Every structure is written in C-alpha cells, then in structure tokens.
Amino acid sequence: MKNLKYLTLILALGIMGCKDYLDAKPNKQLTTINSLKDLQALLDDHTRLNYQTVYAAEAASDDFYLTDQALNAISLEGDRRVYSWQKGNQFEGTSNGWYYSYLGIYYGNTVLEGLKSIAKNNSNAAEWDNIKGQGYYYKGSNLLNAAMVWALGYQATTASQTPGMPLRASVDFNVTSTRASLEATYQQILEDLKNACRYLAVQQVHVIRPSKVAAYAMVSRTYLMMNQYAEAALYADSALQLKSQLIDYNNINAAAVNPFPEYGMEVLHHVTIANPTILNQSNATIVDELYNSYAADDLRKKVFFTKLSGRNVFKGNYSGESSLFFGPAVDEMYLNRAEGYARINKLPEALADLNALMLKRWDKTKAYVPYSSSDQTTVINWVLAERRKELLMRGLRWGDVKRLNNLGYAIKLERKYNGSGAVLEPKSNGFAMSIPELVIALSGMPQN
C-alpha cells in the first residue's frame, strides 16, 4: 500500500490545493498504514477523534450565560466573539473547531482509501467491514457537526441555494475545496452515515469506537436537524431496538461531583470536548429560566446541577468527568423518536416514549403524573421542553433553535454583557458562524 506522506495543516483545515504547504512534516501515524491493524490504530486515535469535537455551537447557545467578569477573563477572543454572536475572527489560530472537524473527515477518507489496497476475504471480512463503517462514520458525523456550526438551518425549499460546507471526498490535497450547497452537504452526511449503518459492527469492544447503533443515532440526529420527522423517528427506533436501557436517576448519587460514570449505559458513542474555559463551571452559569423549569421532584434538578458561588452550574456530564459529552445517547433517541412521532401525529407512541424517559428521571418516592393529551401541539411542546431539559450542554441546542426557527417558532436569542448586549433574530445569518479567516484567504471560498 502506498504510504500517505503529506498530511499537512492545510489539508486538515479542509482547504487543500495550496502547493506551498505540501512539504510540512507529516503525521507519522499516516505514513505507516499497511494493514487492517494499522487502519484500526488510526481510528483509535481518540485524542483527535473522540476528545476534540467542535464546541462553538454550545458556546453560542442560550442555555447558559457569562457574567461580565467571566466573559472578560476568557483568554480566547474567538470564544468571546462566538458567545456574543459577533461575526469575524471567531476561530483563532489553526487548532480550532474547523481544523478538528476536517481532520476527522480526513481520517475517514484515509481509512476508506487504505481499504482499497487491502483485499477483503472470508477471514477478514467482518473486520474489514467494521473498519469501513468507522471511516464513513467519522466522515459523516464530523461533517454534521461542522454544518451545525458554519451553515444555516436546513430548509428543504431553499437548501439547494443555501451555502453548505466543503465536501472532501478523498485525501488528494491537490483538489481545491469549494463550498457545496446545504442540500448537497446534508445528502453527503446521510450517505456517509447510512454507509456506516451498513458496515459497522452491531457492538464494538468499547463505546469509544462507533457502532451500528451509534450510526443509527447519528442518522436520526441528522434527519431531525432537517425537520424530516418520520425518518428521524425510524432511525431512532432502529437505535433503540439495539440499545434502549435508560439510567434510573434514583440510583445516581446526586451529591457526587461527577454523578455519572464514564462510558455509562446510555452512551452510544463516547465523544467529548476538551473542557474549554468558556463552558466550564467557573464561568458558565445556567440561565434561570431553564433551571427553574425543572419540577421539584425531577431528579435532574439535583443530578445535573450544583451551586458554585451562588450560581447554578452544570455537572451532569455523561463523560464521567468535567468534559462535556457530545456523543449520541439513548435518552436522545427516546426524545428524537418522541418528537418524530408527535410531528406525524402518532401521539400515543410519542407520549409512551416521553413517559418512559420521565419515569427514570422522577423521584420514585413521589407520584409521577404521566403526560397525557390528544392535542398534537401540546404534545410537541412537551417533548421540546423535555428535550431542552434533558440534553442541555450536549452541543444540540444551537441546531435545535435553527431548525425550530425554520418552522416559525421565532426564538430570539439575547445576551447582556458589559452594559449592553446582543440580539440574534430568528432569521439572522449569525446562525452560520464565520469560517476561519485563514481558510477564506487560502481557498477563496465565500464567507458567511
């Protein structure tokens, strides 16, 4: 197999075609690929693929706020600008969210190209297919994460004319990146993730590797971001057919600093972010509106939050540590299926999912009154309310606001800081963040 000798910074940034950068020192891991074992070792580069997910969508969300003192103490200007929705210079340097998104896509492409030189036979077929599925998974999931940050919300009627993301189909860095349409971007995401569903093993040796159930979950997440509800429910159901056990929060030590174990039973694929300063407990305060929306007997109010200097801060990470968990999980699939069912007017099924989740979140010594209604709008609103309460600090709220605004929910975001503040109107182009200036300068692609 031909060694891959020219991994460069520019390649990882997703702006290939800049010849001046081709002599940069390569990543040694990518120059010694000769076997399935080598490809799996590349996919097991957890520092890059599992722990460096782009976090800008969470930093821009309305589930938390920063005091003036906290905001002014953030060392990264880009993070301050993301938080305050100021366009331009939102992603500083080179090791930023764009870098890691396209590095993950590059790893996926590297694996898929590497497989072309390794014959598939009866003795290695299962391993070969599983590696292929992982390659597709990292391509699709990283592209989805990128689209949620640097593209507007998907709207079927306008997606073909809306700018999307650069689509990298190979490791050939002589091919210059250009922005595809949002329609083409989501088609690519679905193609990659559905291929992952086809090839991945049902169960991996560890949840740090993506499995078939994780791929089903990511397809469901994608369809929900596209407001395609029957499909979102279908793939959530496929995931839940394979793994559906929920954590009973009555068995969780709510007083613990980190209440949830690492790699817990609801985790479908272990993905975290590197605990950026802007999102850690010392700075990020949960908004009162959200905190106060939890009922007194809802155990999430104790399990998810703690007081720090009088502030309500989040501690309910499924990562088992201070790093925020951004991967797919069983609870998300119950809520995806519930919303999908509610949107297509399968209300009993939607309520069954919602109540199944809530029973595992409610103090068992107190009476739980199940959600019950025959009104579609009421059920949808219940699902959305529980979705926000269950999935906060998971990197999903920003995408949810965009998709809901495309449905006419008119969610206006507001920040107050340093004696003034900022407003992000429902149809604002600010929901597509600025592409790193270095990428624009070297590729010539249009800026948001």
Mean pLDDT of residues grouped by 10 in the chain (448 residues)?
Answer: 40 42 40 88 95 96 98 96 97 89 96 96 98 99 98 98 94 83 99 99 97 99 99 99 99 98 98 93 98 99 98 98 97 99 99 99 98 99 99 99 98 96 97 96 92
CA distance 353 to 367: 18
Q: 9-250+326-443 has which CATH code?
A: 1.25.40.390
Per-domain boundaries in the chain: 9-250+326-443
Q: How high is the pLDDT of residue 197?
A: 99
In tens, the pLDDT along 215-250 reads 999 999 999 999 999 999 999 999 999 999 999 999
Contact (CB, 8 A) for 404 and 224: no
Instruction: Read off the pTM.
Output: 0.94
Q: How high is the pLDDT of residue 92?
A: 86
Q: How high is the pLDDT of residue 31?
A: 57
**Residue 362, φ and ψ in degrees, nearest 5:** -100, 145
Q: How high is the pLDDT of residue 202?
A: 97
Token code pair at residue 98: 């764009």
CA distance 204 to 201: 6
Q: How high is the pLDDT of residue 442?
A: 86
Q: How many Cα neighbours within 13 Å face the side chain of 231?
A: 13
**Longest Cα pair distance anywhere in the chain, in angstroms?**
68
Q: How high is the pLDDT of residue 8?
A: 39
